[in-house]
Amino acid sequence: MSDDDDFMQDSDQEQYDFEYEDDDEQETGDVDVENKYYNAKQMKADNPEEAITEFLGLPALEQEKGDWGFKGLKQAIKLEFKLGQYDKAVEHYRELLTYVKSAVTRNYSEKSINNMLDFIEKGSDDQRAYKCMEQFYSQTLDSFQSTNNERLWLKTNIKLARLWLDRKEYTHLVRKVRELHKACQKDDGTDDPSKGTYSLEVYALEIQMYADTRNNKRLKALYQRALKVRSAVPHPKIMGIIRESGGKMHMSEENWPAAQTDFFESFRNYDEAGSLQRIQVLKYLVLTTMLMGSDINPFDSQETKPYKNDPRISAMTDLVDAYQRNDIHRYESILQNNKDVLEDPFIAENIDEVTRSMRTKAVLKLIAPYTRFTLAFIAKQLKISETEVQDIVGFLIVDKKLRGKIDQSNGSVEIESNPDADRTQAMQEWTSAIRSLWKTVLNEAEGFKADDSSVILGGTAASGFPSSHMDFEGLKQNGGRGPNGWSKSRGGQKRSGGRAQLGSVK
């Protein structure tokens, strides 16, 4: 037998007296509490009232506040809120917050409270639920302010501000946003880089508020400040909100290219975040493309192509196709058969501009072969009212896209035909183009330059004449000999048998 075997054999003969009795009792107690918790969870779907009773009985089974009591209260609160027992939910939530200080770890409690508040926020759909949610937020703020948990304090305040935004309580929201901005700054008033993510969330809330109240001046300033924040790694949904609001702002200013860029960036961020708002923003992108008069299909890009055949976006896809084909009848038919497109106030507000543009192009195309037509004829062809036809024709005349006169007495329009005027206008444009070319060549470019060798006339050295003002008509040569009637003589060039007459040199 080896030495190691001897050692193991001797060790087996030794007896050690360890006392496990207390630990066994504690473990048995924990098992009982754990079994009760999971049994209650199984009753949640079929018998929620009994499940609540079981969950609320868990804290009493623990000698000291611990994890199972905390978990039991969480489950009970969620069920009570779901069943509309808001007062009981608030009462038990107050009890739950007492576990945060000592019974559970800081990270676990913070995560649990955040999840609880998210659950409450998603489940709030009436006035009583909103009031209950506001009480949850207030109690959370009071609890975590005393524990100096600034991160959770900021998150809860942002949730509370979002609640007031949803309820359009702008007075409360303005005060809360001001408080949050101050919390995200250093003592000297500059933005704290470590809180850049929270700062962007506050900007997003404030931007939404000013977008709702149509305060474009304040909205534009905040939008530009938000885009300059570089110290944050924001959630894509936050950037989606900021970009969407920016796109709407640019739309109100009729800055279509900037709006298109913002809506595309907003769609991309929402898509990355998995937010359903991406579908609505994609509709805004299609709308902006039509307002720009662009021939580029917005669904040609890699990001938007997968949504081209999405049923939720099919109406807008068909609209942009009809717009690019200038098919007014199909365009009107799509709008008529898809009333849900106009349920969005933003689309309803801006689609009229697209419709008017389509009808204007249709009128120009329809009247091209005619010198005289009636408003009733155009109205019948486009299936719109005579009043609207008159407005469109009047706009075309004022905008000088159509030369004609409207006879309101008999509802007719006579097109003025003047070929001479067209020819004169074309000549004027041609003359202007030549004048512009002449100025470019003679003034801005090198133009005509005199030769470096001086030309000596009558014993006087002339290095050249101003190239842009020379007139050679007065230069006459009378008789003479030699090349060009000039002959050499001592002292310079001399005209033999005549004089060189230099007319006007201007």
Judged against a pLDDT cut of 90, whether residue 406 lies above it is answered with no
pLDDT confidence tier of residue 134, bands split at 50, 70 and 90: confident
In this structure, what are the phi and psi dihedrals at residue 495, rounded to the nearest 5 degrees? -85, 125
Given a contact cutoff of 8 angstroms between Cβ atoms, the answer to whether 191 and 229 are in contact is: yes
pLDDT at 421: 63
Question: In this predicted structure, what is the pLDDT of residue 259?
Answer: 93
pLDDT band at 14 (very low <50, low <70, confident <90, very high): very low
Give the tokens for residue 258: 């900037």
Half-sphere exposure of 63 (CA within 13 A, CB side): 5
Query: Cα 381 vs. chain centroid, distance in angstroms?
Result: 39
Residue 340 has pLDDT above 50, yes or no: yes
**For the whole model, what pTM was predicted?**
0.64
Tell whether the model's pLDDT for residue 363 goes beyond 50. yes
* Higher-pLDDT residue of 499, 128: 128
Check pLDDT > 80 for residue 505. Answer: no
The backbone region for 491, taken as left when phi is positive above 0, alpha when psi lies in -120 to 50, beta otherwise, is left
- The answer, yes or no, to whether residue 487 has pLDDT greater than 70, is no
Could you tell me the two tokens for 142? 């009071």
- The pLDDT, as a whole number, for residue 326 is 85
| Chain segment 371-381, per-residue pLDDT in tens | 888 889 888 88
Angstrom CA distances, 58 to 47, 91, 94, 115, stand at: 17, 16, 16, 21
Residue 477 host element (H or E): strand 476-477
Phi, psi dihedral angles at 487 (to 5 degrees):
-135, 150
Beta strands 412-415 and 404-407 are antiparallel
Percent residues over pLDDT 90 in the chain:
10
Three-state DSSP at 494 gives strand
Question: From CA 497, how far away is CA 383, in angstroms rounded?
Answer: 89
Share the mean pLDDT of the chain. 78
SS (H, E, C) 16-72: CCCCCHHHHHHHHHHHHHHHHHHHHHHCCCCCHHHHHHHHHCHHHHCCCCCHHHHHH
Q: Name which residue leads in pLDDT, 446 or 498.
A: 446
**Tokens of residue 450, six digits:** 């005199």
